[in-house]
A and B are shown apart, each in its own frame.
Chain A
């Protein structure tokens, strides 16, 4: 499917008044991604269009945007999936710095602490490691892209809600028995933390990295349910089966 598509892109300059949109006719082909289209605009139409991207393959979490209202990583969102004019906006519920670039500091600040982004790998438990390697490590699934916070209807009206990414992180820490368990549970056991979620599950829908934050929030609540009772260090794991139907 070759031809051109109309893009309506969110533009914002802090010194130049309220946000506006700008339209561009962009040549696209089969498999063209939103990121490719945006870069074409930068190269051929408007070099001042600001956006973030890095890896081009959905592993860095930098290029999050909303395409026709739906969260996604621009580098893997196909243009042909969208009908009509393709609107591109920054992700929601975070301050906009310019155009499609948001301030990720309030996102990261929701996490309970500076947090490790690597953990022990679960994939090869019985494998032999070289003598000087204790265990294999891997990156966390969460690439901190912010799509979950953008999709959350609670975050849409409440900036004090810690949000799905932070809660999912806390649950993973508990599941892997890392960190101070009581401090993590205290952090989560609040009206602006684990109990604020209204089970819309939009965070899980938006997540490009199989973190399943909504399910983790519910697992976290299951953990909090047992508080106050004589406790062993039993942690609640995320259920393994995928959603069916």
Chain B
């Protein structure tokens, strides 16, 4: 049986990304399921894995936004006790506490799915990725419920 020609990986024959993109553009419109990044969040007729990917991406971007929001908010501390304590008045209103719960949801979703990605993506349990997603989601839901109860002060 012939061995395949893997001179394809020879750098002298490698056209490079730019050449490939140029040739591709010449070929005419590429059919997409949805324009650009919208495709990442289009879960219609897609399975658990795609849903997990979309969730991870949206929570990741949300958490990056939160990181900078958080640093900005904490900068209030530089203004001393009055500035901070008056901020705390707003921070303990139901709306803000609700946003805190949203944050916990984002952290749990991203963190637990991230754990699934680390395991599955290193080659462990590739045939159990759906089961892993749902069991981690269940665990996360329990933690979220407990956190929501606590944040709103119901357990004192």
Classify A-B as touching or not with yes or no (CB < 8 A). yes
- Where the two chains meet, the residues of A that have a C-beta atom closer than 8 Å to any C-beta of B are 12, 14, 19, 66, 68-70, 89-97, 102-103, 105-106, 109, 112-116, 118-119, 137, 150-151, 153, 156-157, 159-160, 173, 178-180, 183-184, 186-187, 192, 197-202, 205, 214-215, 218-219, 221-223, 225, 236, 239, 241-245
User: A221 contacts B129, CB within 8 Å?
Assistant: no
User: B52 contacts A200, CB within 8 Å?
Assistant: yes
User: B39 contacts A244, CB within 8 Å?
Assistant: no
Once A157-B40, A199-B120, A245-B131 are accepted as A-B contacts, the answer to whether A95 and B30 lie under 8 Å apart by CB is: yes
User: A97 contacts B28, CB within 8 Å?
Assistant: yes
Using A68-B45, A69-B44 as known contacts, list a sample of 12 further A-B pairs with CB atoms less than 8 Å apart, ordered by residue number in A.
Answer: A95-B24, A95-B31, A109-B20, A113-B7, A137-B1, A156-B39, A187-B9, A198-B117, A199-B117, A214-B126, A218-B123, A245-B134
Q: How far is the CA of A198 from the CA of B39 in the complex (A)?
A: 14
User: B27 contacts A243, CB within 8 Å?
Assistant: no
- In this assembly, does B8 line the interface, its C-beta being within 8 Å of a C-beta of chain A? yes
Interfacial chain A residues near B17, Cβ < 8 Å: 160, 192
8 Å CB contact of B121 from A68, A151, A221, A242: A221
Q: How far is the CA of A46 from the CA of B103 in the complex (A)?
A: 55
Interfacial chain B residues near A14, Cβ < 8 Å: 28
User: B127 contacts A94, CB within 8 Å?
Assistant: no
Q: How far is the CA of A71 from the CA of B17 in the complex (A)?
A: 28
Q: How far is the CA of A150 from the CA of B34 in the complex (A)?
A: 11
Q: Which residues, 1 to 24 on B, are CB-close (under 8 Å) to A?
A: 1-9, 17, 20-21, 24
Query: Which residue of chain A has the shortest Cβ distance to B120 in the bound complex?
Result: A199
Q: How far is the CA of A215 from the CA of B57 in the complex (A)?
A: 21
Interfacial chain A residues near B93, Cβ < 8 Å: none
Interfacial chain A residues near B28, Cβ < 8 Å: 14, 95-97, 103
8 Å CB contact of A178 from B3, B7, B20: B3
Could you list 12 examples of A-B contacts with CB < 8 Å? Answer: A69-B45, A112-B4, A112-B6, A159-B24, A160-B20, A178-B3, A183-B9, A199-B129, A200-B53, A202-B49, A221-B123, A243-B128
Q: Which residues, 56 to 97 on B, are CB-close (under 8 Å) to A?
A: 56-57
User: B6 contacts A201, CB within 8 Å?
Assistant: no
Q: How far is the CA of A201 from the CA of B122 in the complex (A)?
A: 14
Q: How far is the CA of A14 from the CA of B29 in the complex (A)?
A: 9
User: A202 contacts B47, CB within 8 Å?
Assistant: yes
CB distance from A95 to the nearest CB of B (A): 4
